[in-house]
Amino acid sequence: MIRVESLTIREFRGVRDLTLDFKGKSFAICGPNGTGKSAVVDALEFVLTGNVSRLSGEGRGDISLKQHGPHVDRRSDPDKARVTVKVTIPSLNKTITIERSVKTPAAAHVTPNDPAVLQVLVQVQAHPEIVLSRRELIRYVLATPGERAEEVQALLHLDQVEQVRVGLQKIANSCEKQLPPIGTAVTLARENLLRALGIAELTKERMVAAANAQRAILGLPMLADLIESMSLKDGMATPGPAKPQLIPKTQALADIRAGREALAEITSVATTTRVAEVTADLTTLANDPAVAAGVKRETFYTTGMDLIEAGACPLCDTLWDLDALKKHVQTKIDRLKEASRRRIAAETKISPLIAGLRKVQAAINTVVGYAALATPPVAIEAARDYSTNCGTAVERLAAFMPLTETITVLPKLLIVPQAVFDAIGELEKAVDALPEPTKRDAAREWLTVAQERLEVWRETMRKEKAAKEQAQKARQVSDIYATTSDKVLAGIYAAVEKQFESIYSFVNRDDEDKFKAHLIPSMGKLGFDVDFYGRGFFPPGAYHSEGHQDSMGLSLYLALMRYLQGAAFTFAVLDDVLMSVDACHRREVCTLLKREFPNTQFIMTTHDPIWLRHMRTEGLIAERSAVQFRSWSVDHGPAQWDERDVWTEIDDHLKKNDVRAAAALLRYYLEYVSAELCHRLRAPVEFRGDAQYQLGELLPAAIKHMRELYSRAKGAANSWNQREIIEQLAAREEAFSMLAKTSNAEQWQVNVAVHFNSWDNLGKEDFEPVVKAFRGLLGGFTCSDCKEYLRVSLDRETPESLRCECGKTNINLRKKSA
Amino acid sequence: MTTSPSVEGTTDVPAQVFEKFLQALEGTGVSAELVARLRKTLLEDKTFTERALKEAVLAEEPLP
């Protein structure tokens, strides 16, 4: 997508004013802890995406980009905190500038801002994973399968895939959840219809036969069939009898009997046994505080999830990103799987009780309806109240929580007040006392009630059919989505797995060239097992070293990025990754990045100067494509090792007669630069296992080797019979020896500590010549033109020339072949 | 269509999954209207809320 040419940071995080010239190439930033490397990483992420992940997300508490993005002295003026980056877009062959201020992080000032450019920047913004820190890297490897899946999903933007999966599943679940009450309504309507028809089995033939028996009394034509558009009353004349009876006697008595049967069922031994079982289960749940709390929380979060419609918490109104809030709540729900399982088991047992109560309620309501029509009216309040209580109990049992209230409701279900039976008895007497209708009236009543109940049954059947079709369709869509997405993701993971194996075994080909790995996606999780030297597959943290784990993290990241961005993977920031990888394998990482990702610009930070050298020697970065931070101060931000700045700073200290500060800086700089000189000149230094080389070893070694190189160069020139060059080299050697002598450097190794500490006791006038001598000495190692330190150029480990970056100094070290 | 390349050939994994899903759905007897609604929601509007999905899946038949 992009390559970064240069970066300018002003008043941002720990930086006051800093410009880094990447030139679109891989670049390294090296420095001890706390010197400002991470601020550069933050600045890059900020200017490219408008966010700093280190200052946002989970666990960041009160820290925010807006408040803590600006330099601490500019925290009240976020507009001054600005980052500017110049980038090239290879696909468009354009160079653009992007500027952001912390005051308005979402608003990037892009020049030029034509649509094609903006489209690329939108893509860049959508890929914050261009920045990889060790913290994230290790999450790919050591996290739990669920957390790893989240990390990888975030990288592959699978959150949308997951959101749709959850959404479709919820729709299917909610459609299926409607079916039981609709099913109960159908059963009740069917039973009511059967009672009205006076038959035991609801078949078309029996319905037609029963209806025709009544129609014959009325002299109506026989029904040959019964289809949806037909009525049992077809052809029946209206109005009915001159003195119509409000209560259909026969039907009412049948319904009253049905009411009694429903009451008998709810107080039966079977119901009593079920209530006892459910009560025991719920009591066990309620007595286990962890499970009870889990069930309670699961209920709370599930309810909360349903209430999330806008970007605010439905409980406290705190503003959230809508997706982030849903994800946050869903994570909590997912963690309560056991509670959810036990809740579902208990709800399954409660379900028949709810159905029984609904049946009683419907039967009693029918009876209550007759009571109002009786003359004089029958007092039926007790039955009405009982019906209301049944409705409340249904709601209570369906709600499930709080458990204590549900448990309290259960035993009450078994108790039907005597007043209910008494009221029903009274009504039955009243109905029984009604005069018998004529045969024709009875037939008319029969057909009217039967048709009403047939219509109710047909309607509930239609609703049930529609609900079943919806549920089936929603489940089908959800299942197909789950199957398809799993298949696609399995394909993606297989491709990434192959890439990962290839990348990791390249880096570790010395001992793991046949390395294999398994990425196993399952139910929103991502298992990750790796081969351990042919002994089987284990989690990465089981047997592999920390260094190998770092290497795996980087390999998996690179595999994912290659899959995701393909040829557009042109830029990545590796923030202090691979610190546990040994020197040998770091070289292989350098080779890997250089060879396998030749079109990707890597910006890398490290606190290890040795790692920086590996990057240089392996050609991952050019000699000048690095910056070394030596210190940091709140007033000035990071300070780089820049020769001109160092001498100016030392002079400033001396002007203030602060010899101690000048001496400390000179020694610190000499320590840094003498290591650099030994590296550049390939000077032999006595090996130290801890790599803690002293200035007293390094600088004399560099001086000695420089002389040897001049001597070698003279020998080479002599072999080519280059008299003039021999003379020039002799003059250079003589001048260099004078500089070394002046600095008296060769005596340092005698007693390093005493010698350097004694600088502190010097006065300004005493120390100025020391500074001058060392400045001169270091100048002897540089090109007179470009002022860069000279380096030995090798041809397959054989010194070929002593040269500088600009090419002005190029001294041959190879003798003419014999 | 096996991949859904976006800017400069980057792989849009969600689009890739959605496209495969819609293809699979078409071959199962689900109505063409439903597939079209889901295509609009997932690939054109890019809205993934439960409400939007519900409208797409159940639009022709309100819940009974």
pLDDT in tens, A542-587: 888 888 888 888 898 899 888 888 888 888 888 888 677 777 788 8
Q: Between chains, do A485 and B11 touch, taking CB under 8 Å as contact?
A: no
d(CA A296, CA A691): 59
Contact B10 A163 (CB under 8 A): no
Q: B58 and A171: CB-CB below 8 Å? A: yes
Residue A524: the pLDDT is 58
Please, what is the Cα angle at A44 between A613 and A606, to 5 degrees?
Answer: 25
Check CB contact under 8 Å for A470 and B63: yes
Collect all residues of chain B within an 8 Å Cβ-Cβ radius of residue A1: 7-8, 10
Give A318's contacts (C-beta < 8 A, 6+ positions apart): A312
Per-residue pLDDT at B40 exceeds 50: yes
Tell me the nearest-neighbour CA distance from A170 into chain B, angstroms: 8
Give the single-character DSSP code of A438: P
Please check whether residue B53 lies inside any domain of the structure. yes
State the nearest Cα–Cα gap between A119 and chain B, in angstroms: 8
- Radius of gyration for the alpha carbons in chain A, expressed in angstroms and rounded: 43
CA B2 to chain A, closest CA, distance in angstroms equals: 9
Please check whether residue B10 touches A, CB under 8 A.
yes
**Residue A624 is encoded by which pair of tokens?**
């000048």
Say how many Å lie between the first and final Cα of chain B, rounded. Answer: 38
Q: Is residue A221 within 8 Å of residue A215, measured between CB atoms?
A: yes
Of A486 and B9, the one with more pLDDT: A486
Judge whether B26 is closer than 8 Å to chain A, CB to CB: no
CB within 8 Å: B17 and A485: yes
Check: CB of residue A640 under 8 Å from CB of residue A37: no
Range of the domain at B47: 10-58
The first and second tokens of residue A157, run together, are 């933007």
Mutation for A interface: B57, B58, B60, B61, most A CBs within 10 A? B57
Tell me, what's the ipTM?
0.89
* Angstrom distance (rounded) from CA A792 to CA A810: 10
Name the amino acid, one letter, at A384: R
- How far A321 CA lies from chain B's nearest CA (Å)? 13
Chains A–B, number of C-beta pairs less than 8 Å apart: 110
Contact B34 A477 (CB under 8 A): yes
Contacts of A348 (CB under 8 A, 6+ apart): none
Q: What is the mean pLDDT of each run of 10 residues along chain A (818 residues)?
A: 92 92 93 90 90 69 78 90 93 92 90 88 77 71 67 74 88 89 89 89 91 91 86 76 72 89 89 89 80 72 67 67 70 72 83 88 89 82 90 87 85 86 90 85 87 92 93 93 88 89 89 85 71 87 83 88 85 82 81 91 88 82 85 85 76 87 82 87 88 85 94 94 94 92 59 50 79 89 86 86 87 88
Instruction: Please give the Cα distance from A538 to A407 (Å, whole number).
Output: 47
Which chain B residues are within 8 Å of A473, Cβ to Cβ? 30, 34, 57-58
- Nearest by CB to residue A474, choosing from B10, B14, B58, is B58
Given A322, A487, A566, which is nearest B9 (Cβ)?
Answer: A566
B40 contacts in A (CB within 8 Å)?
none
- Residue A585: per-residue pLDDT: 83
- Asked if residue B2 belongs to a domain, the reply is no
For A89, nearest residue in chain B (alpha carbons): B8
All residues at 6 or more sequence positions from A378 whose CB lies less than 8 Å from its CB, including other chains: A371, A423, A426, A427, A430
Hey, are the CB atoms on A484 and B21 less than 8 Å from each other?
Answer: yes
- Binary contact (A157, B12; C-beta < 8 A): yes
Option in A157, A480, A568 nearest B13 (CB): A157
Cβ contact, residue pair B50, A171, below 8 Å: yes
Q: Tell me the pLDDT band of B61, cut-offs 50, 70 and 90.
A: low
Q: Which of A729, A709, A712, A681 lies closest to A815 in space, CA to CA? A: A712
The token duo for A793 is: 């150029």
Residue type, A242: A
A122 chain-B contacts, CB cut-off 8 A: 7
User: Residue B13: which of A156, A175, A462 has the nearest Cβ?
Assistant: A156
Q: Could you give the CA distance from residue A205 to residue A391 in angstroms, rounded to a whole number?
A: 36
A397 alpha carbon, distance to own chain's centre:
37
Question: Could you tell me if residue B3 is inside a domain?
Answer: no
For residue A184, which residues of chain B lie inside 8 Å, CB to CB?
A: none
Domains in chain A, please, with CATH? Answer: 3-134+489-640 (3.40.50.300), 246-434 (no CATH), 643-812 (no CATH)
**Which uninterrupted H or E stretch holds A29?**
strand A27-30
In-domain check, residue B4:
no
**CA of B61 to nearest chain A CA: how many angstroms apart?**
8
Distance CA(A552)–CA(A502), nearest Å, equals 11
Contact A590, A619 (CB under 8 A): yes
Q: Do B25 and A477 touch (CB under 8 A)?
A: yes
Are A476 and B30 a contacting pair at CB < 8 A? yes
B residues 36-55 closer than 8 Å to A (CB): 38, 42, 46, 48-51, 53-54
Judging contacts by C-beta atoms under 8 Å, the chain A residues touching residue B10 are: 1, 123, 127, 564-566, 568
Does residue B54 lie within any of the structural domains?
yes
Number of structural domains (chain B) is: 1
Establish if B64 belongs to a structural domain.
no
CB A385 within 8 A of CB A423: no
Predicted confidence at residue A380, as pLDDT, reads 86
* Least CB–CB distance from B48: residue in A167, A464, A564: A167
Q: Is residue B1 part of a domain?
A: no
Task: Determine contact: B13 vs chain A, CB below 8 A.
Answer: yes
> What is the pLDDT confidence band of residue B6, given thresholds at 50, 70 and 90?
very low
Q: Are the Cβ atoms of A476 and B11 closer than 8 angstroms?
A: no
Contact A120 B7 (CB under 8 A): yes
Cβ separation B57–A485 shorter than 8 A: no
In a domain, B63, yes or no: no
Chain A neighbors of B49, CB-CB under 8 A = 167, 322
Determine, for residues A164 and B42 on separate chains, whether the beta-carbon distance falls below 8 Å: yes
Q: Tell me which chain B residues have a C-beta less than 8 angstroms from the C-beta of A171.
A: 50, 53-54, 57-58
Q: Which of B24, B48, B61 sits opposite A160 (nearest CB)?
A: B48
Give the distance, in angstroms, between the CA of residue A413 and the centroid of all CA atoms in the same chain.
48
Mutate which of B10, B30, B47 to test chain A, going by most A C-beta atoms within 10 A? Answer: B10
CB contact under 8 A, B7 and A123: yes
Of A448, A444, A376, A464, the closest CA to residue A231 belongs to A448
